[in-house]
Structure 1
C-alpha cells in the first residue's frame, strides 16, 4: 500500500511540475524517467530467464501425474481468464471510455538531458526459450550446480527489483506524467482511471463466481460454502498484495474445504507461483484500455491470443512483490502489442492501483484448483483400485 501512495504522489508531483516548474527541472525529471525505462527494458529478459528457469527446475520430479494435472488446470484457468477479460474489455471499454478515452493531439515533448542507451542482452522470446530449455534440462538431469546458478540469479534480480527498480517507479511515473502534462494529454488520461479500475475489479469477481460455481457443480458441493471458506485468503491477499505471503492462509482454508493434506500441501504452494488468473485479467483488460486511451486500434481475439497465451507462461516469472506481474509482462507488451514507453507507464500505474484485487483473485482461485485436483486424484485412485481387484 505504501507503493501505491508513493505512485499517487509521483502522479501529483509530475502533474504539478509539468504545469508550473521551469523546463530545466522538467527535463531533469524526464531524464530520470528515460534512464529508469532503459533499466526496466534491460532487466526484463534477465528476470524471465532466471525466474522461469528456477521455477521449472524446482518442480518436483516424482509427482508426474499430480504435477501435470495441477499445471494443466492452472494454465487453462489463466488462459481462459485472459480471453474472458480481453473479450469483455474489447466490448465494454469503447463504450465506457467514449470521450474520456480519446487523448487530444499531443504538443511537442521535452527531450531528456542524457539519452543513454542500455540495450538488453537478449530479447524476450530468446530468454523464454533458454529458460524452458535449461529449466526442463535441470529438472530432468538434476544438475545441482546449474540449479544453484539459476536460483542465485533469481535472487539477485529480485534484490535489484526490490532495492532499485520498484523504489524508482514513483520517479519514473512522475516523469511520465510531467511529460504528459507538457504535451497536454494528462487530464484526459486521468478521467479514465476510475472507470477502468472499477471494471477490472468487477471482472475479478465475475471470474471468481464462475470458477466456484463450476467447481461446485463438478464436486457436488455448494459454491457459496466453498467460496465463503476461502474468503479469509481473499482478504489476506488484498492486504498483503502477495500470493506467497498469503500461502499459509490459503493452505489452511483449502484444507477446511475438505482437500486432503497431501494434495493441498502440493497444489497450493505451486499454484501461488503458476496460477495467475487475476493478474492476467488485470493485464489483458488494462492493455485494451491503454490502447484505447492512446488512440490505437484494439486487435481481434485471434490477433491477441498469442499474447494472452504467452502472458500465461510469462506469469511464472512474476516476482513475489507488488507489481511483479506487470513488470514481468512489460517485455511482451512491447514486443507483441507494440506498446510505447508512455503506454507501458500507463499500464504499470493502472495495474498497481488494483494489484491487491488481482492477487486476491489469484489465491482464492488456488483453492478451486486444489479442489479439482483432489477430485481427479480421488477418482484415479478408485479406478486403480477397481483395476487391481479385477486383476
Structure 2
C-alpha cells in the first residue's frame, strides 16, 4: 500500500501584506485604468461602504455591551478611567502638536502664501449606481446604548438577556471574520485607485509638503510615546507591541475610518496579549473617543494656515481650541474625514477662519486623512494594554480569564 503524503499547507498572505499589495496596486493601476473600469471598483466600494456604515453601530453594541457586563459591577469605573486616558492622550497630542509647530512650521512653510485648493473629493469618479443601507442608529447612539445596556446587565441577576448579547457578540465576530476582513483589501484597493485617478491628493501634498512630513513624523513620535507608556505599565517590549499593531495601522491607511478598522484593531490587540474581554471593551470605545492622530493633524494644519495668513497665534486661544476640539470630535470617527467636518465649526468660531480657509483645511486634511486615523487606531492598542494591566491588578488575571472562558462557552 502506498502511504498517503501529508497534505501540503496552504499558502496564505497575512492581512498586512494583503493591504500593502492593495495599496501599491491601487496607486499603480490608478495611472493606467480607464475610467469605466475604475468605476466598477468604485461601485463595489460604495456598496461595501454602505454595509460598513450599517454594521459599525451593531459591532459597537455587540462588542461593548457584553464586554462591560463581563467586567462586572465595577465596569462603570473602568468606563470612566478608559475615557479619561483616551481624552488625556488626545489632549497631550494636541499640545505636543502646538508646541512642535511653533518651533518647526515657520522654517518649513512657503513664503508665498497658500494657493487656492479645492476639496479633493470633488475630483473623484462616481459609482455606476449606489444603494443606501442606513444604519439602525448612529455611532454615538450605539456607544450610549452599549454603555446603558452593559452597565444595566451588571445589575441584573438573570442570565437570559446577558446570554442574548453574548450570542450577538458571536454573530458580530462571525461578520467580522467572514465578511469584513476578507473584503477589506479589495475595498482599500478601490479607495487608492480612485484617489490616484482624482489627482488632487498630489496637489495638496505638494503645497504643504513640509507640513505633511512634519505631521507624519510627529504622529510616529506620539505612537512611540504611547507604547513606551503602555510597555512600562504592562511590562512588555513597546517596540514589539507597536509591531503587532501594524496591521491595524495599515488597514486604517486604506479605510480612513477608526470605526471601520475596529475588527482589525481588536484582533491585533488580542494578539498583543490583551485579554479578550478588555480588548472588546476598550477598542470599540477608543475608536470613538481617542483621536490623538487627528488632533495632531488638525492642530498643526490650523497653525499652518494661521501662519500663512499672518494671524497672531495666542497660546490661550490654541489651548482652549485643543480642549474643545477633543470633546467635539468624539462623534467623528465613524465617517472618513469626519473629524475635520466636525472641527469646521470650531475653526470658524474660535480661530476666525473664513470659508476659503476652512476649505483649505478640509482639502489638506482629507488628502492625508488616513495617516491620522492610522495613528488613532494604533494608539488604541496601547490604551487597551494599559487598561488590561489596570483591570488585571484590580480583579486578578485568574478571575478575568475565568470570565473570558465563561463568556466564550456562553
Matched-pair contact (CA < 8 Å) for 1:294–1:343? no
SS in 2 for 1:227: helix
Q: Measure, in 1, the Cα distance between the counterparts of 2:373 and 2:244.
A: 17
| Pairwise CA distance, 1:321 | 2.1
Indicate the residue corresponding to 1:295 in structure 2.
Answer: 310
Match of 1:277 in 2: 292
Unaligned 5+ runs, structure 1: 6-50, 107-130, 143-169, 171-176, 178-186, 386-391
Alignment of 1:336 onto 2:359: no
Runs of 4+ that moved beyond 2 A: 58-63, 138-142, 189-192
Partner SS, residue 236 of structure 2: coil
Matched, 1:347 2:365: no
Q: How does 1:3-82 map to 2 (within 5 A)?
A: 63-82=75-94
User: Which residue matches 1:371?
Assistant: 385
Q: Residue by residue, what CA displacement relative to the aligned partner does 1:49-106 show, whole Å, maximum 9, x if unpaired? A: xx9xx99xx9869620110111011000001001101111121111111524x369x9
Counterpart selection for 2:235 from 204, 208, 220: 220
- Alpha-carbon distance in 2 for matches of 1:382, 1:238: 36
Please, which of 228, 241, 265 is the counterpart of residue 256 of structure 2?
A: 241
Q: What SS does the aligned partner of 1:70 have?
A: helix
- Take 1:341 and 1:377, find their aligned partners in 2: how far apart are those partners? 47
TM-score normalised by structure 2 residue count: 0.57
For the 8 Å contact 1:233–1:246, the answer to whether it is kept is: yes
Aligned length, in residue pairs: 261
User: Offset at 1:205?
Assistant: 0.9
Kindly state the Cα deviation for residue 244 of structure 1 after the two structures are TM-superposed: 1.4
Aligned to 2:101: 89
CA–CA separation in structure 2 for the residues paired with 1:314 and 1:256: 32
User: 1:207 and 2:222 equivalent?
Assistant: yes
- Give, in whole Å, the separation in 1 of the partners of 2:396 and 2:346: 44
Output aligned runs, 1:107-122, within 5 Å. Answer: none
**SS of equivalent residue, structure 2 residue 208:** helix
- Rounded to whole Å, the distance in 1 between the matches of 2:309 and 2:338 is 24
Range with bigger deviation, 349-358 or 290-299? 290-299
Aligned to 2:47: none
Distance in 1 between the 2:269 and 2:309 partners?
42
Distance, in Å, in 2 between the alignment partners of 1:190 and 1:232 is: 24
State the distance in 1 between where 2:321 and 2:148 align: 27
Q: TM-score scaled to structure 1, two decimals? A: 0.60
Mark the CA change 1:319 to 1:361 in structure 2 (over 3 Å): closer, same or farther: closer
